[in-house]
Structure 1
Amino acid sequence: MPESTRSDVPSPDPFRGGPDDVIALINEFPLAWVAPRDDQAARVATLLPLLADIDVEGQVVSLLGHMAKRNPLYAALEATPSATILFTGPQAYVSPALVSTPTWAPTWNYAQVRIEAEIRFRADLGHEALERLTRFMDTGDQTGWSPRDVGPRYEAMERAIIAFEARVTGITAKFKLGQDETDLSLREILASHPDPVLARWMRRMNAGRQV
């Protein structure tokens, strides 16, 4: 669908975002598609939750995850240990019903982060991968639950999974979240759009504007 245009869109690409936006998207939407960079990608691509490791400069340098050993993705990445990883963030249709300008065209707003990475399987990190993911996802509830709380089943469960590190070799991101809208259209969309998560991210990506 065509995007609205503004004569004062900054250069370079206003949809690129910055390192903080990339980290925020990964943290809020940690479930990502992981696919090997070979001809098996379509057959074995898998959704997996991943956690970002950040260096002192605030850049994502690796991702920590785990998968079932029986997952065909495991064998594929052992054979070809490089992957494309795609995180999808907030996304929704934006209806012309929200905008007063008669010539405004509907669009779809979204955010995505694409990471190219080299994969290293780490049998020694199975427990750490489970613990870190649980702590991260359970932050809001503060239950204190640990994977070992499942009791005698835990050892078998840990043996059934394999942890991995995805060492980042490239990142491309796109945050198409209203940066090209006029101030009036942006205000109207923010005031009426039914998806509060999308609206929050639109405000984030237009923080310097008077809306």
Structure 2
Amino acid sequence: MGHARDALYAARSQDDVLKLLDAQPMAWLVSAGGEDAAFTPLPLRAALDAQGRLVALQGHLARRNPHVARLRRDPIAQALVMGPHAYVSPSWLDDRTQAPSWNYAAAVFELEVSLSEEPQDIEDELRALVTRMEGARPNAWTLEEMGERYARLAQGVTALRGAITRTRSTFKLGQDERDHDFAQLLAGLSRSGEAQVVQWMQAFSTRGDGQDGRA
């Protein structure tokens, strides 16, 4: 993440990172190095402390996943989050000498992971995930509807909490574009159906009201 070192593309506050996690809960949990290197896609949730600071990511793994044994041996891991992204075409610009690019939001979290197979920890984790994903749905589903199947499912799950030791994030969303070009890129992305990237670009824009890319 070379752009993570460029202040132009930095998160403006913790809220940007939380918005990214909310928009893209599915992440890669990575334990690199060694013969038992492990890479698992899984949903992760933000955990905040009493002061509202992002301090951990929480989720769960199947107990049979070899990644569990790796984390018990070495709890250091990274979570990779790829948020909204889109190809940016010079064909949308009056100035066709410009190069293609890619706009995106992404983050890397360095973690120290603790695992638990305590029934209450597992229930708390599964219930929190279901509440997060089902809460706004009509006729939302609940854990209780599983009945006796829940106990069998829970026996195969390990709860995970990754204390965050470092966060690196990049929000490359057209901050370096000229006003006229920015407006044309927004229009091109909109025509291509990239509404989510357009919304993120508008949110990060400091041009006028941040809506149309014009000063």
2:21 matched residue in structure 1: 26
Cα distance in 1 for partners of 2:33, 2:74 equals: 7
The one-letter code of the counterpart of 2:159 is A
- Between stretches 147-156 and 71-80, larger displacement belongs to 147-156
2:92 matched residue in structure 1: 98
Counterparts of 1:197-208 in structure 2, within 5 Å, are 197-206=196-205, 208=206
Secondary structure of residue in 1 paired with 2:151: helix
User: Which residue, 52, 61, 71 being the options, matches 2:55?
Assistant: 61
Q: TM-score, normalised by structure 2?
A: 0.87
Larger RCO: Structure 1 or Structure 2 (Cα < 8 Å, ≥ 6 residues apart)?
1
1:157 matched residue in structure 2: 153
Deviation at 1:192, TM superposition (A): 2.3
Unaligned runs of 5+ in 2: 1-5
Cα distance in 2 for partners of 1:204, 1:40 equals: 43
Whether the 8 Å contact between 2:28 and 2:79 is mirrored in structure 1 is: yes
Q: Which runs of 4+ in 1 moved over 6 A?
A: none
1:8 matched residue in structure 2: none
**Number of corresponding residues:** 199
Whether the 8 Å contact between 2:32 and 2:38 is mirrored in structure 1 is: no
Counterparts of 1:61-210 in structure 2, within 5 Å, are 61-124=55-118, 125-193=121-189, 194=192, 195-206=194-205, 208-210=206-208
Cα distance in 2 for partners of 1:45, 1:120 equals: 17
Secondary structure of residue in 2 paired with 1:83: strand
Whether the 8 Å contact between 2:106 and 2:171 is mirrored in structure 1 is: yes
Unaligned runs of 5+ in 1: 1-11
- Between stretches 97-106 and 176-185, larger displacement belongs to 97-106
The one-letter code of the counterpart of 2:125 is A
Secondary structure of residue in 1 paired with 2:147: helix
Cα distance in 2 for partners of 1:147, 1:159 equals: 15
Whether the 8 Å contact between 1:37 and 1:82 is mirrored in structure 2 is: no
